[in-house]
Chain A
């Protein structure tokens, strides 16, 4: 019989890093215990995994690392409930259960030869980081045109991956735009909500794909801006979130119409979403 998809592999929590100033989001670095587990865990940017805090349960989280970063998986997790709190309190060295990779991923084949505008709001930036890191990797950079990242948070302290953002600022291979909602001391970059900053920057839609990920309100207000910039719905991608349990398209919890977000998603194009009932 093939491998039981309900049994997690064990990974060691190598690092439990407080990511944001409000201490509400931590990034967990999980180490594979052996080569076999790592080889079986073939993933692509946009996919997610079910993390187990044994004794508390399981919950789905986007994979923040890119397959170009071997040996580990990273997850940035907001403290909202049972599993996420247990993970936050976990000591380094503890075993965490991982089931995955799950779901589909960003259509990187389709993106080839095109420019990319990556737009992220709040902590939904995790799988967008995976996407950017993947495309920036020297093996892949030549496959894509200009890469623009527009990333916003309520205040500077809530931005994820600050060291990496600092690096991207000076990286000629990527055009990074960060913004915060309201002015803050010491902040010299953009101020304003993502939709208006996107409008202001006005990335060209010629030969360009947009990937948008963030809270529903942010997505809702960013889409009309992209449409105004002439991005057709087939070239806008987003990632949806639904309450999930099995992650396998079996438990019946995460459907939108005929689609199961855990299996047929979480990545959908806006053209696909227009065909689905508005129930997410």
Chain B
């Protein structure tokens, strides 16, 4: 089924009454997800946003609580406030990234209320990629430029209209509010099929990376791999699956807030103990952690590789450290029998 963009735009604008709508827009920094009020603001054809939309579920900086000291007493206030949100124009890699984050923010013992309040109140409208960047390699990660996994509604852009697929129950409810859904023409169906068959040209081989890494903790490869890295964390901050955070306090006189902010394992301070001991005191240990976490530990703990092949870390690294080459390097590294 399809809907004309004109009609879709009307439904979209109507949704702003009940939802905050986050969608890609173009600004001086490139394409970014922001709050939009009108469908006409939305950037339709783009390769990928600079930062992933994970920040709407897990903000770069958010208040956990606030407090006020009164003499020896203190008043503590929960700062969890969440509204209904639609994330529009989400690419398949980022939608899958959210499914991976879900596994992090809920474990056998705890559910993160800040993340899941937002998650439960969010509808994801995904859009297939008609153009594929040279840095994209999602096809190697079990995703594809047109996979609907992780989206509640999935759209394929046909120029003047969208093909509409309601993926989840949540998505069906929204899809029901879209008026005048009509059948695709034969030509349009052919267009859909072409888009659905597209794959990324860039590919990596991850068939055996998990087991290979399992034998590589003490491998000399880590030493060569990290040589250029300056530990800036740009790779982690731009990654839709990275989720590590810091908790700190912002204080003014007797009042303050406790906030959490993105953090990443590429920073030397990340694991520094109060005693001065640092279990990961070298770049090689930190790059190893990055690779191990994404391609071995996460797979063991959650059953999936924690990389969706979006290529953002490749584009954002100031020294051109390319995770695809890191993967190739692991594949090629000779096994050392210990």
Contact = CB atoms under 8 A, between A and B. Distances in A.
Interface stretch (A66-74, A161-169, A204-212, A249-257): A249-257
Interface residues of B, number: 50
Q: Which of A2, A10, A94, A277 has the most CB of B within 10 A?
A: A277
B247 A243 contact: no
A250 B274 contact: no
B109 A248 contact: yes
Interface string B251-292: 100101010100101000011111101011000010000001
A266 B66 CA distance: 29
B74 A279 contact: no
A51 B200 CA distance: 49
A170 B182 CA distance: 88
A80 interface: yes
B277 A216 contact: yes
A157 interface: no
Given A4-B78, A4-B80, A57 B248 contact: yes
B110 A250 contact: yes
A6 B243 contact: no
Contact of A243 (B78, B114, B254, B271): B271
A1 B280 CA distance: 37
Interface string A238-280: 0001110110111111011110000100000000000001011
Contacts of A243: 270-274
A156 B285 CA distance: 39
Interface in B173-214: none
A81 B271 contact: no
B301 interface: yes
A7 B78 CA distance: 7
Contact of B72 (A1, A93, A279): A93
Nearest to B297: A258
Contacts of A8: 76
Nearest to A1: B113
Contacts of B117: 1
A123 to B, nearest CB: 11
Contacts of B74: 10, 54, 95, 97
A251 B280 contact: no
B297 A245 contact: no
A249 B112 CA distance: 10
B65 interface: yes
Q: Which of B73, B110, B117 has the most CB of A within 10 A?
A: B110
B300 interface: yes
A215 B78 CA distance: 37
A54 B279 CA distance: 28
Given A8-B76, A242-B271, A251 B249 contact: no
Interface string A53-65: 0111111000000
Contacts of A10: 74, 76
Interface string B101-118: 000110101111110010
Contact of A59 (B107, B274, B275): B274
Given A1-B113, A7-B78, A248-B112, A258 B279 contact: no
A237 to B, nearest CB: 20
Contact of B76 (A2, A97, A252): A97
A215 B274 CA distance: 13
Given A245-B245, A250-B110, 15 more contacts: A2-B113, A6-B64, A6-B65, A6-B247, A7-B64, A7-B76, A52-B258, A58-B258, A80-B274, A241-B273, A245-B246, A250-B243, A252-B293, A255-B293, A279-B279
Interface of A: 1-2, 4-8, 10, 52, 54-59, 78, 80-81, 84, 91, 93-95, 97, 215-216, 241-243, 245-246, 248-253, 255-258, 263, 277, 279-280
28 contacts: A4-B78, A5-B113, A6-B113, A7-B78, A8-B76, A10-B76, A54-B74, A57-B248, A84-B274, A94-B72, A95-B73, A97-B74, A215-B275, A216-B277, A242-B271, A246-B245, A249-B110, A250-B110, A250-B112, A251-B245, A252-B243, A252-B265, A253-B270, A258-B297, A263-B107, A263-B109, A263-B110, A279-B279
